Amino acid sequence: MEVQLQKMIESSKRIVFLGGAGVSTESGIPDFRSPQGLYAALTEYGYLAEEIISAGFFKKHTSTFFDYYKKNLVHRDAEPNGAHRALVRLEKTGKLSGIITQNIDGLHQKAGSSDVIELHGSIHRNYCTECGKFFDLDYIMNEDNCKDKVPYCDECGSLIKPDVVLYDEELDAELLGRATDLIKKADMLIIGGTSMSVYPAAGLAEHFNGNKLVVINKSTTRYDSEADLVINGPIGRVLDQIQI
């Protein structure tokens, strides 16, 4: 199957990669939507993970939100894996039109990718909810800038919010538009590390008009039946074997 993937990449000119949580699990970042992650949140906090990282919970239980967020969604020691590195190599050939990710960890950029659309935002960007000043990750993780885990602006003293899309919040329309346009123009779409079950990101692949659709994921996805190639395995291992 890897040989077939190799040939498909070689014959393509405009490749788009659409990835999810599975791209980062090989870097040691757990998927909070997994049964283990959901159980852990319920056991420690008494809430489901989706509840804790919702916009409503952020407003009502800000301290608990940040306690969970800092422990479970921020992984500063994580390093890019084979998938991230392979995509950097592919970008250098000029064949990769862009990366669309549902992840917020910034590992694609850390690996060296330059054209990354972060649909759900990034842990590395944080902003004051009042004056709009931006802060990096180190600032909000520094307890000297926080009160009971909650970071506050050093300019106006107001609450800082991570620049990530929480449950009950809509994705940025401009980013969705850019992602849709990329996929429409692609001749090859690689869906990796995602079951494609979370909307609206899951619907992006419906805009693909090319002739090479590839799915690389450990479990089945809703696009398996439409794909020209399906590889069930860890995406880091699969992509790292490709000669680019």
Catalytic site positions: 120
Distance, in Å, from the CA atom of 89 to the CA atom of 28, rounded to the nearest integer, reads 22
> What residues contact 207, with CB distance under 8 A and at least 6 apart?
180, 183, 184
> 177: exposed, middle or buried (C-beta count within 10 Å: 0-12, 13-18, 19+)?
exposed
Q: Running DSSP on this structure, what letter comes out for residue 124?
A: E
Which residue, 194, 223, 204, is CA-closest to 117? 204
Please state, as a whole number, how many other Cβ atoms lie within 10 Å of the Cβ of residue 218.
13
The partner residues of 164 in beta bridges, in order of sequence, read 121
Give whole-number Cα distances, 141 to 8, 129, 149, 194, in Å: 43, 17, 8, 28
